[in-house]
Amino acid sequence: MARLYLIRHGEPASGWADADPDPGLSGLGHAQAAHAAATLRGLGVTRSLTSPLRRCVETAAAFARETGRPATVEPAVREVPTPAEVADRHAWLAAVMAGRWSAFPDLAPFRAGILETLRAQSSDTAIFTHYVAINAAVSAAQGRDEVMVFRPAHASITILSNDGGVLSLVEAGAEAPAINAL
């Protein structure tokens, strides 16, 4: 049985409603990433995947410095994609997070990609990813349809087990205040 450590990226230098679609980490975010990396090293984790977005790559870089093993970029664990016709990402994302996966069939491939990637892991793996992606995994592991089942804090570590493709929640990571989304 593999343990999957889902790490939400550290605090970004700009928020999800700001103009920068791919911010790096803030100073606090770098410190959070270093703390998460030390925790993972202490757990003996040596393998990692990361979203291609800068805030995750920078969070994963702290883990690479701790272990000497760089993360493999895995596009399937990326941020939730915004449909091209959406002009206001902030409003769209708020509606998605308040809803159910079944109400957003266009997001089914996104969620399926995350779950397929997690189910394919046969060894303990750190996965540097995003708020909605972590919720996609946890809601599936719990057999729930809600998009948002909890609020993972920046650089929090949520642990799932993968037993032959069956995902189970072992431990939810620390939660963020309600205003600290994405």
- Report the percentage of the chain scoring pLDDT > 90: 90
Residues 13-41 as b/e (b if ≥16 CB within 10 A, e otherwise) read beebeeeeeebbbbeebbebbbebbebbb
Residue 182 in any domain: the answer is: no
Predicted model pTM: 0.94
Domain count, the chain: 1
Residue 176 in any domain: the answer is: no
Percent helix, strand, coil in the chain (nearest 5)? 40, 20, 40
User: 172 pairs with which residues across the strands?
Assistant: none
pLDDT in tens, 100-116: 999 999 999 999 999 99
Q: Are 11 and 178 in contact (CB under 8 A)?
A: no
CATH number for position 62: 3.40.50.1240
Q: Which residues constitute the domain of residue 147?
A: 9-171
Residue 2 in any domain: the answer is: no
End-to-end CA distance of the chain: 30
Residue 87 in any domain: the answer is: yes
pLDDT in tens, 45-54: 989 999 999 9
Distance CA 153, CA 29 (A): 11
pLDDT in tens, 124-144: 999 999 999 999 999 999 999
Residue 48 in any domain: the answer is: yes
Label residue 161 by pLDDT band (50, 70, 90): very high
Residue 3 in any domain: the answer is: no
Label residue 16 by pLDDT band (50, 70, 90): low
Q: Are 150 and 135 in contact (CB under 8 A)?
A: yes
Residue 134 in any domain: the answer is: yes
